[in-house]
């Protein structure tokens, strides 16, 4: 199979504009993520999937400078952007890692790919329950990517009702009765603080990441993160009030979301 990592990213985020070019240790976040994902072994290409808006020209200029593959596509419809990118690169399975998922673990990239190779699943996403999707587990979704078979993406995109679902683009797959899906179960043996956030949505998340990286080696794992926050409890104070803000925003987006046109 042609398995490629697609990183949806754009610079006009309302909560943290141009976050993908913000720097930690003088390296932009998008470069940190790409370098981390290169440590996975089973993928073919890494492609940053951005938009054709002029506001993303700065991101594209950076990607060109660093010789990072990119694709420019539909601004608002992320499913179309993915489909068009898959056609260009002859991709059969997409490993979807949003550009703000800085801490995604290469080991789980390979595990999701193995699941897609060995089984007929159309869609695999990390979760902490075998039956009910939990969108606000910021450890699981911060370290485990999503696998999407392009044939299923085509099926979802061309279905008559996909634009009428009041969900985000991943929830469209989760809720669809027409594709085979699996929750990739994960439970940490280490204690997970309830307000730990492994994503970059808000300025506080970025401030947390900058401090956290001072306690991590370049080949860190989620275990190292959990140990760092346990040994340095002041880190969590930076983000302790953000989850409620995130959850309120998420629920509002899901309520108003009638198509994949509000995505990254």
* Domain boundaries, given as residue ranges, for the chain: 3-256
261: confidence class by pLDDT, cuts 50, 70, 90: very low
- Dihedrals phi, psi of 38, to nearest 5 degrees: -60, -15
Is the model's pLDDT at 246 over the cut of 90?
no
Q: What angle do CA 98, 147, 108 make, to 5 degrees?
A: 80
Model confidence pLDDT, tens digit, residues 160-173: 455 533 337 888 89
Q: Which single residue is written with the structure tokens 């700065």? A: 58
First to last CA, the chain: 26
Q: Which two tokens stand for residue 39?
A: 């440590």
Is the model's pLDDT at 253 over the cut of 80?
no
Q: Report the top-level CATH class of 3-256.
A: alpha beta
Q: Give the residue among 98, 93, 124 at the shortest CA–CA distance from 186.
A: 124
């Amino acid at each position: 199979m042609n398995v490629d990592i697609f990183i949806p990213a754009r610079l006009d985020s309302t909560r943290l504009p141009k976050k993908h070019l913000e720097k930690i240790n003088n390296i932009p976040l998008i470069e940190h993520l790409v370098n981390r994902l290169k440590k996975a072994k089973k993928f073919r290409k890494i492609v940053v999937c951005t938009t054709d808006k002029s506001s993303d020209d700065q991101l594209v200029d950076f990607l060109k400078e660093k010789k990072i593959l990119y694709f420019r596509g539909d601004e608002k419809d992320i499913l179309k952007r993915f489909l068009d990118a898959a056609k260009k690169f002859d991709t059969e399975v997409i490993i979807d890692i949003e550009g703000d998922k800085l801490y995604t673990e290469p080991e789980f990239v390979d595990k999701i790919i193995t699941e897609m190779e060995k089984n007929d699943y159309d869609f695999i996403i990390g979760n902490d329950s075998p039956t009910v999707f939990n969108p606000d587990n910021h450890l699981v979704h911060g370290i485990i990517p999503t696998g999407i078979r392009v044939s299923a993406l085509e099926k979802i995109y061309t279905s008559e009702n996909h634009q009428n679902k009041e969900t985000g683009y991943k929830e469209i797959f989760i809720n669809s009765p027409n594709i085979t899906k699996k929750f990739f179960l994960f439970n940490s043996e280490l204690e997970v603080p309830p307000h730990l956030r492994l994503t970059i949505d808000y300025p506080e998340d970025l401030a947390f990441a900058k401090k956290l990286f001072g306690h991590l080696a370049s080949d860190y794992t989620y275990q190292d993160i959990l140990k760092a926050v346990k040994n340095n409890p002041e880190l969590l104070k930076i983000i302790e009030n953000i989850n409620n803000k995130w959850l309120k925003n998420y629920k509002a987006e899901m309520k108003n979301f009638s198509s994949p046109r509000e995505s990254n």
